[in-house]
């Protein structure tokens, strides 16, 4: 069963069309990255999936249950882009509150494991108001994991993190994938998406404009071959063309010193897809 | 049920952490101190007052000053209720506090009910405590006790619970500031309508009384307050009783069981409107 299925999802805020019929699927144990410029509809999609926003048209299902329903909310963890926990709660108390609300019976052991997982084991009793923004964000990730939900919806989970914090979350995401947890990751950080995601979906003006694995999206830009005559670029050639090109050069009595298959980065693919749009 | 208790406890803890709660407690202490002083001098000087024939000076003084205490208690309770509820939906959503809670398998209606219960759990005991304290001050200082001891206090607490519900409803549609202003204005409008009704009673103006009655049914917290005032001296008869009914801290308004049933139905209607609005709201 798919963790998240979105079909023809549309949302209109007055005259603004935030989503214009999006189809998307996150399979079990899959980590899908959601990319797009500001205002592309990424957060709206995530909010509809977790029941914060009502769709104008189309449907969203979480583990087979209508998004926003009791069963759907039991099956997901969510980290909002902009969130705050009461400042007078300690990290442990925040998790305890969410354990009660999520119906988790993991108790102290679960809280300890989650805080350790996000690198906050030492800050268990520290009040939220005494935590840095990055620590609060990592606490937010831990909160989303309460009750071991099969689907995680993470809206910009690393926006306030320093490089070490980002790495902690990346490692955590890899760990979750190995446990079979599905993740929809909404992020502006292309490098991060490229490093951890199985599949990437790019939204532009409420529409899905590209989708596939980072390898599928990274199109071939040619093959570069270094010979005794210098470096030659065979534009349009792919990896599969490489043996033939080398054979032809050798047959033409050229000395071949090196071969490099050139592919576009996710950043280049993204910029091409969104046409340089920023908002 | 456990979700309701969890969120109500969350709201209670928030209430106790807010500085407004400390401010209200300090103001209450100041109010009770001043009220004791006022009672002390009032009843001390009462011996020197020569009331008109047919007027019981002690009853008149006791009922009037305790009626003033009822108003003060209602006002403080309403301030507390409004500040505890004015930002429950819009305010908390703007600050990002609401979203992590609302995505849990709790339900929006549950959250509203729990937050209302949390607010009432703070406000009702507070109102009852101040009511009892002021009654003891007047009773022990001036040896005057209301005709009914319990019902006026309960009606005050119920009135504050109605204001808390209105404030919760407002928080679904308005920002915290706009909601606070709106609820205080509604509260003020209710008080003015009550005074207009009292004046109408004194002048025997059916139009004024009728208008005030409509306002009281639209805003039952005011009707409950007025009914509570009436209960203070409901067994007081003669010229003293008539003068007390002219107010401003005596009551001519009769609510009775119908009013209490209507106040309960009103709470359900406000709750239903808040639930519908909140359920349809994008966050």
Asked if the model's pLDDT at residue B1 lies above 80, the reply is no
Q: How distant is the Cα of B4 from the closest Cα of chain A, in angstroms?
A: 9
Q: Across chain A, what does the average pLDDT equal?
A: 88
pLDDT of B56 reads 80
Alpha helical stretches, state H, B86-175: 90-95, 99-102, 108-142, 151-173
User: For the residues A237-246, what does the mean pLDDT come to?
Assistant: 88
Q: What does the alpha-carbon distance between residue B32 and residue B35 come to, in Å, rounded to a whole number?
A: 5
Give tens-digit pLDDT for A20-52: 999 999 999 899 999 888 888 999 999 999 999
Cβ A82–B96 below 8 Å, yes or no? yes
Q: Are B6 and A140 an interchain contact pair (Cβ–Cβ within 8 Å)?
A: no
Mean pLDDT for chain B?
87
Averaged pLDDT for residues A138-156: 92
Which one is predicted more confidently, B85 or B248?
Answer: B85
Question: Do B7 and A76 count as a contact with CB atoms less than 8 A apart?
Answer: no
Average pLDDT of the residues in B69-80 = 92
* Degrees, nearest 5: CA angle B76-B81-B82: 100
Name the more confident of B50 and B60: B60
Distance (Å, rounded) from C-alpha B263 to C-alpha A165?
54
pLDDT band at A247; cut points 50, 70, 90: very high
All structural domains of chain B with their residue ranges? 2-280
The CATH fold assigned to A4-214 is Rossmann fold (3.40.50)
Q: What is the pLDDT of residue B248?
A: 67
At B195-246, the pLDDT tens digits run: 887 788 777 788 888 888 888 889 999 889 988 988 888 777 777 777 677 7
pLDDT (mean) for B47-63: 80
Give the Cα separation of A97 and A103 in Å (integer): 10
Q: Lowest mean pLDDT of A89-103, A183-197, B214-228, name the range.
A: A183-197
- Report the side by side order of strands in the sheet with A65-66: A16-26, A4-13, A57-62, A65-66
**B105-144 tens-digit pLDDT:** 988 999 999 999 999 998 999 999 999 999 999 999 989 8
Mean pLDDT of the region A239-247: 89
B149 close to A (CB below 8 A): no
Better-scored residue on pLDDT, B168 or A163: B168
- Sheet bearing A220-227, strands edge to edge: A230-234, A220-227, A256-263
Is there a contact between A97 and B6 if contact means CB atoms under 8 Å apart? yes
Over 90: is that where the pLDDT of B253 sits? no
CA-based nearest distance A170→chain B, Å: 22
Across A142-153, average pLDDT = 93
Angle at B43 between CA B39 and CA B48, to 5 degrees: 145
Residue A279 has pLDDT above 60, yes or no: no
CB-CB under 8 Å, B99 with A53:
no
The mean pLDDT value for A100-109 works out to: 91
Domain boundaries, chain A: 4-214, 220-263
SS3 A15: coil
B282 contact A CB<8A: yes
């Amino acid at each position: 069963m798919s963790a998240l299925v979105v079909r023809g999802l549309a949302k209109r805020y007055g005259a603004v069309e935030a989503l214009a019929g999006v189809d998307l699927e996150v399979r079990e144990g899959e980590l899908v990255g959601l990319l797009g410029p500001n205002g592309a509809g990424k957060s709206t999609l995530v909010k509809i999936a977790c029941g914060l926003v009502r769709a104008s048209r189309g449907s969203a299902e979480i583990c087979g249950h209508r998004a926003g329903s009791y069963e759907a909310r039991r099956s997901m963890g969510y980290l909002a882009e902009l969130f705050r926990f009461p400042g007078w709660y300690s990290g442990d108390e925040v998790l305890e509150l969410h354990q009660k609300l999520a119906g988790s019976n993991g108790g102290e052991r679960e809280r300890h494991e989650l805080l350790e997982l996000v690198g906050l084991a030492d800050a268990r009793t520290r009040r939220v108001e005494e935590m840095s923004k990055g620590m609060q964000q990592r606490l937010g990730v831990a909160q989303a994991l309460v009750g071991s939900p099969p689907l995680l919806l993470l809206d910009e989970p690393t926006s306030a993190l320093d490089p070490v914090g980002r790495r902690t979350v990346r490692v955590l995401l890899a760990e979750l994938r190995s446990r079979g947890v599905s993740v929809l990751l909404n992020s502006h950080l292309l490098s991060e998406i490229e490093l951890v995601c199985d599949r990437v979906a790019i939204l532009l003006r409420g529409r899905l404009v590209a989708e596939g694995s980072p390898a599928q999206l990274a199109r071939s830009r040619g093959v570069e071959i270094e010979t005794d005559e210098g470096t030659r670029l065979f534009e349009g050639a792919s990896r599969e063309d490489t043996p033939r090109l080398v054979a032809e050069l050798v047959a033409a009595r050229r000395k071949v010193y090196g071969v490099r298959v050139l592919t576009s980065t996710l950043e280049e693919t993204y910029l091409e897809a969104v046409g340089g749009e920023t908002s | 049920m456990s979700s309701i208790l969890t969120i109500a406890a969350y709201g209670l803890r928030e209430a106790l952490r807010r500085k407004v709660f400390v401010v209200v407690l300090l103001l209450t202490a100041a109010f009770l101190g001043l009220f004791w002083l006022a009672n002390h001098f009032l009843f001390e000087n009462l011996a020197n007052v020569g009331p008109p024939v047919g007027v019981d000076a002690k009853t008149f003084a006791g009922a009037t000053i305790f009626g003033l205490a009822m108003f003060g208690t209602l006002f403080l309770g309403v301030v507390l209720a409004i500040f505890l509820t004015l930002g429950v939906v819009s305010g908390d959503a703007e600050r990002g506090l609401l979203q992590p809670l609302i995505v849990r398998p709790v339900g929006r209606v549950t959250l509203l009910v729990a937050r209302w219960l949390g607010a009432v759990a703070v406000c009702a005991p507070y109102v009852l405590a101040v009511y009892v304290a002021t009654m003891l001050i007047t009773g022990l200082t001036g040896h005057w006790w209301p005709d009914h001891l319990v019902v006026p206090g309960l009606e005050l607490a119920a009135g504050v619970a109605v204001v808390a519900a209105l404030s919760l409803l407002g928080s679904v549609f308005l920002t915290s500031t706009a909601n606070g202003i709106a609820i205080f204005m509604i509260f003020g409008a209710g008080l003015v309508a009550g005074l207009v009704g009292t004046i109408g009673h004194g002048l025997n103006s059916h139009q004024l009384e009728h208008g005030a009655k409509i306002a009281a049914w639209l805003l039952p917290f005011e009707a409950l307050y007025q009914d509570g005032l009436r209960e203070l001296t409901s067994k007081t008869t003669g010229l003293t009783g008539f003068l007390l009914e002219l107010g401003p801290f005596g009551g001519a308004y009769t609510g009775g069981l119908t009013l209490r049933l209507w106040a309960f139905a009103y709470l359900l209607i406000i709750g239903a409107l808040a639930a519908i609005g909140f359920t349809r709201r994008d966050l």
